[in-house]
Chains A and B, each alone.
Chain A
Amino acid sequence: MGISPVLWQFLVKWLHNAALFPSEASTISPWMDAFYLFLIAMTVVGLVLVGALVFGFAIRYRKERNPVATQVEGSTLLEATWTIIPLAIFLMAFVWGALLYYRIYTPPPNSMNIYVVGKQWMWKSEHPGGQHEINALHVPTGTPVQLTIISQDVFHSFSIPDFRVKREAIPGRYTTVWFEATQPGTYHLFCTQYCGTQHSGMIGEVTVLSPTDYQKWLQQSDSGMSLAQNGERLFASMGCNACHSGTAAARGPNLAGVYGSKLTLTDGSQVLVNDAYIRDAILNPSQHVTAGFAPIMPTYKGQISEEGLIDLVEFIKNLQTNYRVQQTQMTSDSDQAAQPTPTAGQSEAVKP
């Protein structure tokens, strides 16, 4: 932003108080606002120019003053001018917009991941530690938060205007967006994609807490089971571990450490194992057979909810060694402390 931070703060505060701008509550907000002001300036200049030309000519060349028109063919020079200058301005806006877009849709590698499931008509947020929220989302300030979003039914869209971020929740496909909140407070959370009867009821609140308050909140809202632990149980109860046992003789590939790796499939293609791949491999296993294995895995379509899939994804993400799989088989104790928020490195491959 070319202007001094103090002036900027003043301007934005005034615009917010005048109810012209939403509050600036994320690191993206000032960038978006600066770009918005640039585009408004472009519009105003364009409008004033066209207005001045139209009114100027209309007054200067009205019939009373100019009874006879002078015929003019056109002017290549003038026409070139008003082709090239608008084009240049639009291209400038394009580059600026593209940079902002990449910024908003490229989560930093160390961001903490929260899953969001949209369904008619509510938002369900799932923290890795197992905290569940309906139409609410608690996040700390000063930490990049990545949302992995999916819809269970129709298209929804996850929008937090004060953060200037929005991402479509698509049925059957993970999408991601990230933000870093700066101001503690509560902010609107909207579904912006028309999704049926209660579309306008699919709203909620984002609560931004200081990091210490956030830790407190995490502890208060602890459900006793982290997502990965839920996934572990599901993994056992669905019988996944019968094949994916991690032993040498297993009928299914070893899943330990598979997350984030490149996998070679039977058709020779290479895929990156990320959330989307794991989800799809559970639902459409016949299309994702790892090289060296027989296509014997049945589909789990219709048997696991989106939340269950998230649990499994989170479990496989956390699965680094065979030990965990054996543990799943042996133990059912789940009273251990909830999994803390994911550590760096886990979410590096979550890019779409």
Chain B
Amino acid sequence: MSAATIVTLPDQATATVPKKNYITSEHGLLSWLLTADHKRIAMLYMISITFFFFIGGAFAGLIRLELLTPQSDLVAADTYNKFFTMHGIVMVFLFLVPSVPATLGNFLIPIMIGAKDLAFPKINLLSWYLYMIGGTLTLSALVLGGVDTGWTFTTPLSTHYLNTHVITAALAIFIAGFSSIFTGLNFIVTLHRMRCPGMTWFRMPLFCWSNYAASLLMVLGTPVLAIAIVLVFLERVFGVGVFDPAKGGDPLLFQHLFWFYSHPAVYIMILPGMGVISEVISTFSRKRVFGYTAVAFSSVAIALFGFFVWEHHMFIMGVSNYSALVFSLLTMLVAVPSAIKIFNWAFTLQKGSITFETPMLYAFGFMGLFTIGGLTGVFLGVLGMDIHLTETYFIVAHFHFVMVGGMLMAFLSGVHFWWPKMTGRMYPESLSKLAAVVTFIGFILTFMPQFILGYLGMPRRYAAYPPEFQVLNVFSTAGATILGVGYMLPMLYLAWSLKYGAVAGNNPWQATGLEWQIQSPPLTENFVETPIMDHEAYDYEWLEKQQTEGAKYIG
């Protein structure tokens, strides 16, 4: 075990967390609520998205509990519909979309490129407030009696047939959307204008590239969602016939608009996670990412192609056969950059010097689950198979493999990886490895059976189902229970580590990024003097030279 780790901690007997850092620079609740420091805002986000993650998770638990038996016996069908709607809205709009960009991205992007803060610190704070308003409205929709549109808000169901709190929930998403637009805008401007001397585009860590690509999607895609929501509002409240066929509207138009955002949105969710994986795999194999340029450009390619595949959500809805062909073909193309990334990561390991700390375990989990998630996406992107599989549990399993197996694994990998930097303290290693393994097993057990259920034809969003599907559903519920434990563990031990964790020092992982060359937790201004970047990203030889020469780089 001794040789198999790269963890380098300062002598615990003497080491202390630096007295002066961004956490201790100011005191009191107001100093947090009115802060313009990107790191503090990142922590605000971290706390809020964790809160919403567990809300969304609680609904997932209730859904699985209801599906333990074929009958709709735990709750009424209406209540079940509200459960999965709330699960979807909370997880997608309040957790997955902001997860990595708003927390890790917010914290790290300025530091990674040698800047003091984001380009618009106050807009950054505003975006957190917008997020919180969106979150509060979502909760109020829940408390007032719930909403049962499904997270997709399909018209005319959402406009004419439900009398739940559709407008409240829609408004919540509308407002949270602006939070996402502002974050994206902030990142784009920051990455263009605030890079330190010597930090060329191709010297940036890949985490910055993938967040840049995701930001483009946020800025260009989210307004379309906002427009779609406004149209739903107009039709529901004022009876303007945009989607209602009885008034000359087009019932499919809503889905075109919705998926024009919501398909790119899955790339908003997954791309930043891919950035985390690039950083983690490089660090724990002590090697430059294999084919840096290909990985960087594949992020941009995913963002570009991602805008032209939305109709693959509607292949069975009577769209023209020719447009279906085009969109299916484009869907095949968007799968390729993801394949490139996976293979580049695998070959980053080759000739490396690999250690298996917790972030790396999560990254391995990501690679396996994302490969399955990505390839099962091909099932749904090819036309004929989509007819049988769409709207069944297959599609549920597919996007959970990508979003939970991929994105959440990447998020947890990143949280563990940068935890020492953000808090100055290490998390407990053995317990966190256990959590990673438990999560992985729980995940497989939850979602693998759903692929089979999907091919057997079990429709999604069913409160009750034919009895022959019960065995697989029981497996899935059992897996969800294990998964729940896997997610509770990190929350507990990470909270514990804030006070009792080992002091981390500046660079526990011996990583090369600029964020690891400054103190942990960083100063409010990040760097004492503006750094000058004179080497490529992931240059481990440079790092070694720095350390042998004992040269203090910055901060």
Contacts and interface: CB of A to CB of B under 8 A. Distances in A.
Contact of B291 (A21, A79, A191, A197): A79
A46 B374 CA distance: 10
A190 B332 contact: no
B477 interface: no
A69 B335 contact: no
A87 B336 contact: yes
Contacts of A190: 457, 459
Interface stretch (B30-38, B205-213, B463-471): B463-471
Interface stretch (A110-118, A153-161, A232-240): A153-161
A176 B378 CA distance: 25
B391 A192 contact: yes
B143 interface: no
A98 B383 contact: yes
B443 to A, nearest CB: 15
Nearest to B289: A74
A171 interface: yes
A63 B391 CA distance: 46
Contacts of A200: 72, 77, 459, 461-465
Given A46-B375, A166-B388, A172-B251, A63 B461 contact: no
B540 interface: yes
B51 to A, nearest CB: 27
Given A43-B376, A63-B3, A199 B77 contact: yes
B157 interface: yes
B252 interface: yes
A30 B466 CA distance: 24
A212 interface: no
Interface in A288-342: 301-302
Given A43-B376, A200-B462, A61 B285 contact: yes
Interface in A6-56: 19-22, 31-32, 35-36, 39, 42-43, 46-47, 50-51, 53-54
A39 B339 contact: no
Contacts of B290: 72, 74-75
A195 B157 contact: yes
Contact of B161 (A32, A98, A153): A153
B64 to A, nearest CB: 16
Interface residues on A, range: 35 or more
A46 B371 contact: yes
B382 interface: yes
A58 B349 contact: yes
Given A97-B328, A161-B456, A172-B251, A197 B78 contact: yes
A262 B347 CA distance: 61
A61 B353 contact: yes
Interface in B370-394: 371-372, 375-376, 378-379, 381-388, 390-392
Interface in A168-216: 168, 170-173, 175, 188, 190-201, 203
A79 B325 CA distance: 28
Nearest to A94: B332
Interface stretch (A100-108, A139-147, A266-274): A100-108
A196 B162 contact: yes
B293 A74 contact: yes
Given A69-B351, A70-B351, A97-B384, A196 B457 contact: no
A165 interface: yes
Contact of B316 (A50, A73, A167): A167
Nearest to B331: A94
Contacts of A171: 156, 245, 251
Contacts of B339: 82-83, 86
Contacts of A62: 4, 353-356
B328 A194 contact: no
Contacts of B541: 71
B318 A96 contact: no
Nearest to A160: B457
Contacts of B87: none
A73 B364 CA distance: 22
B161 A188 contact: no
Contact of B462 (A51, A196, A199): A199
Contact of A199 (B246, B376, B461): B461
Which of A62, A87, A90, A100 has most chain B Cβ within 10 Å?
Answer: A90
A120 interface: yes
B203 interface: no
A20 B471 CA distance: 12
Contacts of A168: 316-318
Contact of A63 (B355, B378, B463): B355
A126 interface: no
B115 interface: no
B537 to A, nearest CB: 12
Contacts of A120: 161
Contacts of B468: 19
Given A82-B339, A155-B154, A166-B387, A39 B378 contact: yes
Contacts of B77: 197-201
A35 B384 contact: yes
Given A35-B385, A170-B251, A191-B459, A69 B161 contact: no
A78 B148 CA distance: 49
A237 B162 CA distance: 35
A54 B364 contact: yes
B165 interface: no
Given A39-B379, A104-B384, A171-B251, A301 B246 contact: yes
B324 to A, nearest CB: 7
Which of B246, B290, B292, B352 has most chain A Cβ within 10 Å?
Answer: B352
B344 interface: yes
Contact of A100 (B6, B293, B336, B383): B383
Nearest to A302: B246
Contacts of A20: 452, 455-456
B81 interface: yes
B353 A98 contact: no
Nearest to A93: B382
Nearest to B454: A161
Interface string B147-175: 01010101011001110000000000000
A96 B382 contact: yes
Contact of A79 (B78, B344, B456): B344
A86 B318 contact: no
A136 to B, nearest CB: 15
Contacts of B154: 154-155, 193-194
B336 A72 contact: no
Contact of B347 (A32, A78, A191): A78
Contact of A172 (B246, B335, B367): B246
Nearest to A194: B461
A31 to B, nearest CB: 8
A58 B354 contact: yes
A83 B354 CA distance: 26
Contacts of A53: 343, 346-347, 349-350
Contact of B157 (A22, A90, A104, A194): A194
Interface in B300-340: 315-318, 321, 324-325, 328-329, 332-333, 335-336, 339-340
B388 A164 contact: yes
Contacts of B388: 32, 36, 161, 164-166
A101 B464 contact: no
Given A21-B456, A39-B375, 8 more contacts: A35-B382, A74-B293, A75-B290, A91-B332, A94-B383, A97-B385, A194-B154, A201-B77
9 contacts: A22-B457, A62-B354, A62-B355, A72-B347, A97-B386, A101-B386, A154-B157, A168-B317, A190-B459
Interface of B: 3-6, 72, 77-78, 81, 148, 150, 152, 154, 156-157, 160-162, 245-246, 248, 251-252, 285-288, 290-294, 315-318, 321, 324-325, 328-329, 332-333, 335-336, 339-340, 342-344, 346-347, 349-356, 364, 367-368, 371-372, 375-376, 378-379, 381-388, 390-392, 452, 455-457, 459-466, 468, 471-472, 540-541
Q: What 6 A-B pairs have minimum CB-CB distances, sorted nearest first? A: A161-B457, A100-B384, A97-B382, A172-B245, A101-B383, A74-B291
